[in-house]
Structure 1
Amino acid sequence: MSFKSTLATWAGKSSYWFLHTFRSGGSSLPGKITTKVDPDILKTLGQDYDVVIITGTNGKTLTTALTVKVLRQKFDHVLTNPTGSNMEQGIVTTFLTDHKSKNGKNIAVLEVDEANVIKVTKYIKPLAFVFTNIFRDQMDRYGEIYTTYQKILDGVALAPEATIIANGDTPIFNSRDLPNPIVYYGFNNQPDGEMRAHFNTDGVLCPRCQHIIHYKFITYSNQGKYYCPNCGWHRPELRYQLTQLGELTPNSSKFFIDGSNFNLHIGGLYNIYNALAAYSVGKFLGVPTSAIQTALNDPDERVFGRQEQINVDGKEIIIVLVKNPVGINQVIDMVGTEKDPFSFVGLLNANYADGLDTSWIWDGDFEKLTQMNIQQYMTGGERYKDITFRLKVAGVQDDQLWVENNLKDAVAKIKDLPTKRVYVFATYTAMLQLRKQLAADGYIKEGMA
């Protein structure tokens, strides 16, 4: 280790100690300080690790958490960034806080923002990449899905020997010829039919001939068993397959992968894809199927803001992160399986981490909410006017809707909602603000680090 990297590491670790001893913590600032002293510090910190990079639009945080659980069934030391701080400075902080094992293999499973993949692979050559999906998201940062995928591929190009473990049901992941070895996972649980995706779906043109893609079946959005009737391009062979779906509820999912049964204590079809990705990484690294079953059946699978359940004076608050049309439509479908009456809270912000443009809410199928057993609606957040208007257009009546632009007042008002169960749909910074207020009120031990 050079003098510069030694100094940078000391500065980063010292700032981390100070922030977590005397302040409310911090996952980005120590990394920012460290890279200021030594911009190449990741090369030093990441050596002696077998790194798995998980990236894509939706599901990165939960896929990372599930993958870590799976790999810890076999490996004694698995480093990760559990706070979801997935840009370069947050990843540097992750390595700063680790104590490498002197005996055995050191594994690092890192959630990485799509645009930051290249900032990691510039210094670290990963063992594998995991591609979850690509959907339209934060247009001000990423542009269309093709530019998002290109940002990822720019980073992958620096690690041509790393294996790519990709969602085979997502057409864009089969659109480019890459030098990397690639294995695919996906769904194979429906009989073949003949259909096209909804007209308001991204990425449904064949990358070879630009003909409209057809499907034998669709799971959701543009994902499924696709093919091009014009040139013959089609979904690749799947190495790991979901073969059967069982009962799905808002807080549980039963399914079979490669013929083995799994129970996931979290709802949503989209989260089964996350579990399938974690299973695929486990099999790739030699974790036995029985051990993967044990890991995925762990009831403590929720991570902050991802169907996290918090008790607020007897109210069961379920916080669900939403950030783009595909994601929110999947979450709406998930809460549609709720059998008991519930209340709905929508918290909308438009900061840099959320995406500055809120027009995406108009592609969300909020009209479905009005067909559910929702006893009361409430809106809030910095862009409360936008989400309030969207719900009114969807058919929510004024006498059903409370508007609370002050977050502290909104948390207090939650206690007055008429149902025991409350689903809170929140964008990223709104979710962090909500958790911080819940921590200040004593309902959780601490806010976001």
Structure 2
Amino acid sequence: MTLRSHFATFAGRSSYWFLHTFLKGGSSLPGKITTKIDPDILKHLGQNYDVVVITGTNGKTLTTALTVRVLQQKYPDILTNPTGSNMEQGIVTTFLRAPKAKGKRPIAVLEVDEANVIKVTRYIKPKAFVFTNIFRDQMDRYGEIYTTYQKIIDGVALAPEATIIANGDAPIFHSKNLPNPIIYYGFRHQPEQDIKAKPNTDGVLCPNCQHILHYRYITYSNLGKYFCPNCGFERPVLTHAVTELGEMTPTSSAFNVDQHPMKIEIGGLYNIYNALAAYSVGRFFGVEPEEIEAAFSEDKKVFGRQEVIDLDGKKVTLILVKNPVGLNQVLDMIATDKEPFSFVGLLNANYADGIDTSWIWDGNFEKLPKLNIPAFITGGERYKDITFRLKVAGVPEDKHQIVPELSNVVEKIKTLPTEHVYVLATYTAVLQLRKLLADQGYIKEGMGE
């Protein structure tokens, strides 16, 4: 290390200690301070780690958490960023707080924002990249899906020897010829047919000839076993695959991977993809299927990902939503609940959420009035937008309460007529709600650390 990097590291670690000791937080500020002093600090902090970069639109945080659990079955020193602070300053903070590794070369499993991949690979050469999916998300930051993917592969280009572990069911991940070794994962669990994706689905044009892709089967959105009837472009051979689906509930999912039975304590078909990605990373690092099954069986909730909070007897399930595809998967998941429940929608539009709220009109909120939901609440900084969206979806006015202030939302939840309450919230709304609940003693301070 240079004298500059030594000083930057000292300043960053000191600020981290102060913020976490006295203010109970600080996942990005220490990184900001450190990079201000030494913009190249990541080169020094990450040079002794085997790094796994996990990126994509949806599923990064849960995939990261599951991957850490899986690798801990074999490797004692795993560094990660569990708070979801996935931009450059948050990643720097992650390295700053790392204890000194003992024994084997440590592994860092890092959730990385799509646009920040290149900011990592400029200084660190990862051992592996994990691509979860790419959907339309935060148009003001990322643009269309092909622009987002280009941001990722611009970063990957700086690490051509790293192995890519990619969702093979996503056509976009098979659209470019990359020099990296590639492992594909996906689903292989349904009888085959010849179908097309639903109208207005993104990413269904063949990258070779621009013909509309067909599918042998679809899991959701544009994911599945795709093929082009015009030029022969098709899904690559999968190294690891979900071969059977078992019981699916709002709180658990059973399935087989490569014929091995697995179960995760979280609902939703989309979360099985996250588990499959973590399984694939585990196998890449030599973790056995039986060890992965044991890792998945741990019932540890992840910040904002179906986190269940006891609010004076109400079981409040907090779920992050941020784009139409993810939202629709969450709506499908809560629709499997056999008991009546109440629904709370909290919408913010800050930079971290995406300032454009038009995406809520692509969500299938019309499903809600058909479910056994006796009470609805809408709130957040953009409460007028989400309130009007539910009104258009057909939610009855006599069941619908409008509560702009989050502090009042917490009190209103306590009065809802059902024991179970689903709260669907955008990123900064999740942060704000969790802080309120932490201040009132319902949850511990922090974000899943």
What does the per-residue CA deviation read over 1:99-153, in whole Å, with 9 as the maximum and x for residues that have no partner? 2323112000000000000000000000000000000000000000000000000
Query: How far apart, in 1, do the equivalents of 2:23 and 2:264 lie?
Result: 36
Q: CA deviation at 1:356?
A: 0.3
TM-align CA RMSD:
0.7
Query: How far apart, in 1, do the equivalents of 2:286 and 2:50 lie?
Result: 14
Q: Does 1:382 align with 2:381?
A: yes
Q: How do 1:95-114 residues align onto structure 2 when only pairs under 5 Å count?
A: 95-114=95-114
Give the match for residue 288 of structure 1. Answer: 288
Query: How far apart, in 2, do the equivalents of 1:288 and 1:217 lie?
Result: 29
Q: CA deviation at 1:24?
A: 3.0
Give the match for residue 218 of structure 1. Answer: 218
Give the match for residue 150 of structure 1. Answer: 150
Give the match for residue 359 of structure 1. Answer: 358
Query: How far apart, in 2, do the equivalents of 1:39 and 1:358 lie?
Result: 34
Describe the SS at the equivalent of 2:21: helix
Query: How far apart, in 1, do the equivalents of 2:440 and 2:95 lie?
Result: 32
Which structure 1 residue ranges, 5 or more long, are not aligned?
Answer: none
Describe the SS at the equivalent of 1:215: strand
Q: Does 1:373 align with 2:372?
A: yes
Give the match for residue 116 of structure 2. Answer: 116
**Preserved CA contact (<8 Å) 1:432 1:447:** no
Give the match for residue 318 of structure 1. Answer: 317
Query: How far apart, in 1, do the equivalents of 2:105 and 2:38 lie?
Result: 26
Q: CA deviation at 1:77?
A: 0.4
**Preserved CA contact (<8 Å) 2:8 2:41:** yes
Query: How far apart, in 1, do the equivalents of 2:4 and 2:317 lie?
Result: 46
Which structure 2 residue ranges, 5 or more long, are not aligned?
Answer: none
Q: CA deviation at 1:447?
A: 4.0
What does the per-residue CA deviation read over 1:16-47, in whole Å, with 9 as the maximum and x for residues that have no partner? 11111121311000000000010000000001
Give the match for residue 430 of structure 2. Answer: 431
Letter in 1 for 2:203: G
**Preserved CA contact (<8 Å) 2:53 2:110:** yes
Q: Does 1:22 align with 2:22?
A: yes
Describe the SS at the equivalent of 2:376: strand
Q: How do 1:306-345 residues align onto structure 2 when only pairs under 5 Å count?
A: 306-345=305-344
**Preserved CA contact (<8 Å) 1:100 1:106:** no
Q: CA deviation at 1:316?
A: 0.2
Query: How far apart, in 2, do the equivalents of 1:103 and 1:315 lie?
Result: 46
Give the match for residue 37 of structure 1. Answer: 37
Q: CA deviation at 1:58?
A: 0.1
Query: How far apart, in 2, do the equivalents of 1:100 and 1:248 lie?
Result: 41
Q: Does 1:126 align with 2:126?
A: yes
Letter in 2 for 1:361: I
Query: How far apart, in 2, do the equivalents of 1:98 and 1:370 lie?
Result: 48
Q: CA deviation at 1:411?
A: 0.5
Q: CA deviation at 1:446?
A: 1.1
Describe the SS at the equivalent of 1:374: coil
Letter in 2 for 1:15: S
**Preserved CA contact (<8 Å) 1:57 1:134:** yes
Query: How far apart, in 2, do the equivalents of 1:211 and 1:345 lie?
Result: 41
Query: How far apart, in 2, do the equivalents of 1:431 and 1:392 lie?
Result: 23
**Superposition TM-score, scaled by structure 1 size:** 0.99
Query: How far apart, in 2, do the equivalents of 1:20 and 1:258 lie?
Result: 43
Query: How far apart, in 1, do the equivalents of 2:254 and 2:302 lie?
Result: 19
Describe the SS at the equivalent of 2:374: strand
**Superposition TM-score, scaled by structure 2 size:** 0.99
Query: How far apart, in 2, do the equivalents of 1:356 and 1:231 lie?
Result: 39
**Preserved CA contact (<8 Å) 1:305 1:321:** yes
What does the per-residue CA deviation read over 1:342-401, in whole Å, with 9 as the maximum and x for residues that have no partner? 000000000000000000000000001111111100000000000000000000111010
Give the match for residue 420 of structure 1. Answer: 419
**Preserved CA contact (<8 Å) 2:25 2:446:** no
Query: How far apart, in 2, do the equivalents of 1:369 and 1:442 lie?
Result: 31
Matched length: 448
Give the match for residue 188 of structure 1. Answer: 188
**Preserved CA contact (<8 Å) 1:54 1:64:** yes
Query: How far apart, in 2, do the equivalents of 1:13 and 1:66 lie?
Result: 27
Describe the SS at the equivalent of 2:375: strand
Which ranges of 4 or more aligned residues in structure 1 deviate by more than 6 Å?
none
Letter in 2 for 1:312: L
Give the match for residue 390 of structure 2. Answer: 391
